[in-house]
Structures are given as structure tokens and as C-alpha cells.
Amino acid sequence: MKIVSYNLNGIRSALQKGLAAYLAQENADIICFQELKAQEGQFDEAVFDQLGYTCLWHPAEKKGYSGVAILSKLPVDHVAYGCEHPLFHTEGRLLSALIGGITVVSAYFPSGTTGEVRQELKYEFLDYMETYTAQALAHNPLVAVCGDFNIANHDIDIHNPVSNKHSSGFLPEERAWLSKYFQTGMVDSFRRLNPSQQAYSWWSFRANARANNKGWRIDYIAVSNQLANGVQSAFIRPEAAHSDHCPIGMEVMA
């Protein structure tokens, strides 16, 4: 089973940049999207139908903002749209589906870059994700949380750890939370199989960052301990440029 996760930074823009052709070539069984920035009906869903996907959309209530999705070529046995937290639900940040025996979650963690209020909200989301993940594991030991965590975990995951040590997304508190998350039931699938590879999944639009490969690895597929042994490969696709992020993925035997 091949699972891909991709923050699109706007699905309409990504489609105009050749997203459909990339998806046809990648041929993933399951795709998790984040940051749709569109409501259903504002883009051509038929593109994904033609590629053989069942599409689950959970947009934000606010137009042009956030939103997550799961696309699957495999039968979908159960879907949970959103979450029990009223704000994170309306912001379209979580969507889960039971596919092939795996609970697949598409998650879009808040960014704290716009100020203290949103940074505090990000910490609230991190706390909520601990509970959300624990509940998912209680129902099914095979869990994959796919998405934009908006946190670079280690120095190897960011182009300049020294200058960014006070930046949201690389703050000590955020990194400590993510390290704990990866030690209490979940595993960083990419880092587990690529312990020393320096690879990024997001680049600022400023200062020609992508061309100079000055990026951050803030997108993850976190797998449960029981699922981790089935992960055969984990990859990042920096050549796919439909967004300021790039696709990440894994192949797993459940």
C-alpha cells in the first residue's frame, strides 16, 4: 500500500500547476491532502474520479482557508469528518478513514507564525492531538497520521537551526512535543528508514529558498508502533512543485 501526503497550499492552484499528472504518475493507493483552501464545488472533482479515487473532503467553514482530504483507490470502511474540538473542526484540520485495516488521518496542524494568539492555539492543538491519537490507537493499533505538522523536529530537519531557534515551527517547546509524540506510540516513518538523510518538505517563497534548498521538513507520516515494522520505504518528492510544500510518502504492508 502506497500512501502519499501533500500540503497543496490551495488545490485550485495546484491543479493548474499539473497536480493531476503527478498523481497519475505517482499512482498512490491513498492520498492525504492538506490546505485545500477551497470548498467542494470550487474545483473539478472529476479529475480525481477519473484517476480512480474515492474522495473525502473536509474543507474549513471559512472560504479559502485550511481544509483536508483523503483520496483512496481502496474501499473505505469508515469515515470520521473533523473532530470534537469545535474550532479545529470548523477550521478543517482533521479527517480520518479506515482503509485496508489502517486508520488513516489527514492532519493540518496550525501555524504559529502570525503571532502569540495563534501560537497558543497551536499548543492547544498539540495537546488535543495527543488525545486524538490515543483514541485512534485505542480503537485500532494500525494508525497513520499524515500531514503538515508545522514543526521541524531536529537540526537535520531545517536548513539553518541556529538562526531559526526562536522561530515558530522550531521552538524548543514544539520540538519537545514532537519528540515525545514519536516516543509514545508513534514513529516518524521517514526518519526511521532514513536516519541521516537531510531532506526538506517545505520552502519559503522568499529569497529563492527552494532553488537553494533552504527548507524545513515539517510534513510527516507518523505511524503507530505496530504499523512501523510494515513500512518498506519512505520518501520525499522535492521535484514535485505544485505548492510551497512537496509530497511525502511511504509504502507499507499492513
Catalytic residue annotation: 148
| Phi and psi torsions of 35, nearest 5° | 55, 60
155 CB burial (10 A radius; 0-12, 13-18, 19+): middle
CB neighbours of residue 79 within 10 Å: 14
Asked whether 126 and 174 are in contact (CB, 8 A), the reply is yes
Phi, psi of 246 (to 5 degrees): -130, 165
Measured distance CA(95)–CA(114) in Å, rounded: 24
Burial of 251 (0-12, 13-18, 19+ CB in 10 A): middle
Q: How far is CA 233 from CA 2, 96, 181, 236, in A?
A: 9, 22, 21, 10
Instruction: Give, for 37, the enclosing helix (H) or strand (E).
Output: none
Q: What span, in angstroms and rounded, lies between the C-alpha atoms of 148 and 247?
A: 10
**CA neighbor of 7 nearest in space, from 61, 66, 50, 81:** 66
Identity at 59, one-letter amino acid code: P
